[in-house]
A = this chain, B = another copy of it.
Amino acid sequence: MTPEIFEKLLELLNSNSFNSLRSELSEFNEVDIADFIAKLNKDQTLLVFRILPKDLAAEVFSYLEPEQQQHIVQSITDKELTALVDDLYIDDTVDFLEEVPANIVHRVLAVTDAETRQTINKFLKYEENSAGSIMTCELVEIKASFTAEEALAHIRKTGVDKETVYTCYCLDSRRRLVGTVGLRSIVFASPDQLISDIMEDGDAIVCVKTSDDQEYVADIARKYDLLSIPVVDSENRLVGIVTIDDIVDIIEEENTEDFEKMALLVPNEDAYLKTPVVTLAKNRIVWLMILMVSATFTGLIIEGFENKLALISGLTAAIPMLMDTGGNSGNQVSTLIIRGLALGEITIKDYLKVLWKELRVALMCGSALALANFARMWIIGRISGSYAEPQQYMIYVVVCLAMFFAVIVAKLIGCTLPMLAKKFKLDPALMAGPMITTIVDGLALMIYFGLANALLTF
């Protein structure tokens, strides 16, 4: 929606031209209407929501921000609320109820019929981020004994308020899932062909359990290119489906969580600009504290060597470069491994393969960096005029050797820790840059000082 169109709509609203506004708005996609409403004040929000055609109102509602949803629900009559909840898909209602205070949940439940109330209550009880918590039960059931023609008639009769009709589900008498069939197959079948002949059954059925994590659900949907994925309970009875639009949101949500964990932030579901300063600070301070205290050990290593560092000028100056190069090398490989594990491209069984690969990469990177660093130190030495003493060259050698070994250690630790975390059922994403850096820093300094002790005369 361009700013001009927004202004035009706002003008209609301000001049109370509600009929024109309604017919203008009906021309837009529900996502754009929600965008429009998001920019209005509270009174305007309610006004616009109320003039929307009834069939559009629920769709727009599901795209609004929780605060606006809450404001609308608090302001409309019980009758309007009943109509709204009636038109909303169960999964959108549950999403909304998970975000609002208890009194609003009670009010919504009070105006819904007994059956819907029971379903909502059941859905609210599934663990957060489980398949159960994100599914909807508004799906089309058909009988395997239907002909294609009967199936189409059945979809026309029962499908209008279902979240999707593009995949239909066949259940047996005990409500266990025995087949799935795409509307496409039904449309292309000859009218008297049986559903049981065209449905996917047996091993070809792809489904998840209510307790499965949403990340797993997304992985399965992505792998099999599904438009919706059936969710079954522990006795294999179909209880719901997760549709692709929610899968896409979950994928972005899970990626955001990985980005946050890799920066050692406590994951946060709200958008950055909407998160209060205190929450932002709280999400960051825990790990900053832990890492700061861990740096004590690196400090102690330096302290133990401080007297010697004071004797030879130039040794201290190389510390940041060694630490940074080690940290960056480790960060690169841990990122690749964490991502590979998340996408299923790498499994724990590949550990030795990964280690061998990283060892070779580390030898290449390490020697290239060590050589480049020697050249760098030599050039800077010439410029600053402190070259040519044999001791100076030995310092270069110590720094470059330390860098070589630091890169190798960093690469091996960078690939090992995420896989170790996975092995122990921890989140590999925590073993990213900051964590690796803290560990590699200490090791890099120990190598550096060890080499200095062995090769230099103090």
Contact = CB atoms under 8 A, between A and B. Distances in A.
Interface of A: 5, 27-29, 31-32, 152, 155-156, 159-160, 165-166, 183-184, 187-188, 200, 202-204, 206, 221-225, 227, 244-245, 247-249, 251-252, 255-256, 258-260, 262-265, 271-273, 277-278, 280-281, 284-285, 287-289, 291-293, 295-296, 298-300, 302-303, 306-307, 309-310, 313-314, 316-321, 323-325, 327-329, 331-340, 343, 345-346, 350, 353-354, 357, 360-361, 364-365, 368-369, 372-373, 376, 380, 403, 433-434, 437-438, 441, 445
B244 A227 contact: yes
A321 B337 contact: no
Contact of A335 (B245, B265, B302, B309): B265
Contacts of A264: 328, 331-332
Contacts of A403: 292
A321 B295 contact: yes
Given A187-B165, A203-B27, A295-B325, A357 B433 contact: no
Most-contacted residue by chain B among A251, A264, A285, A340 (CB, 10 A): A285
A332 B284 contact: yes
Contacts of A316: 302-303, 306, 309, 316
Contacts of A434: 324, 327-328, 331, 433
A202 B29 CA distance: 10
A35 to B, nearest CB: 9
B345 A277 contact: no
A346 B272 contact: yes
Nearest to A1: B203
Given A29-B206, A328-B288, A380-B296, A277 B364 contact: yes
Lowest 4 A-B CB distances belong to which pairs?
A: A310-B310, A295-B321, A263-B335, A225-B245
B357 A277 contact: yes
A319 B302 contact: yes
30 contacts: A28-B204, A159-B188, A166-B184, A183-B183, A248-B248, A248-B251, A251-B251, A251-B255, A256-B343, A271-B340, A271-B345, A272-B346, A273-B345, A273-B350, A277-B357, A277-B361, A280-B357, A284-B332, A289-B369, A291-B328, A299-B320, A302-B319, A303-B317, A306-B314, A309-B310, A323-B323, A324-B441, A327-B434, A331-B433, A433-B434
A426 to B, nearest CB: 19
Most-contacted residue by chain B among A159, A293, A316 (CB, 10 A): A316
Given A298-B321, A319-B302, A272 B336 contact: yes
A344 to B, nearest CB: 10
Given A187-B183, A251-B252, A310-B310, A27 B277 contact: no
A172 to B, nearest CB: 18
B291 A325 contact: yes
Contacts of A339: 256, 259-260, 272
A373 B332 CA distance: 29
Most-contacted residue by chain B among A32, A321, A323, A325 (CB, 10 A): A321
Given A259-B335, A433-B434, A27 B321 contact: no
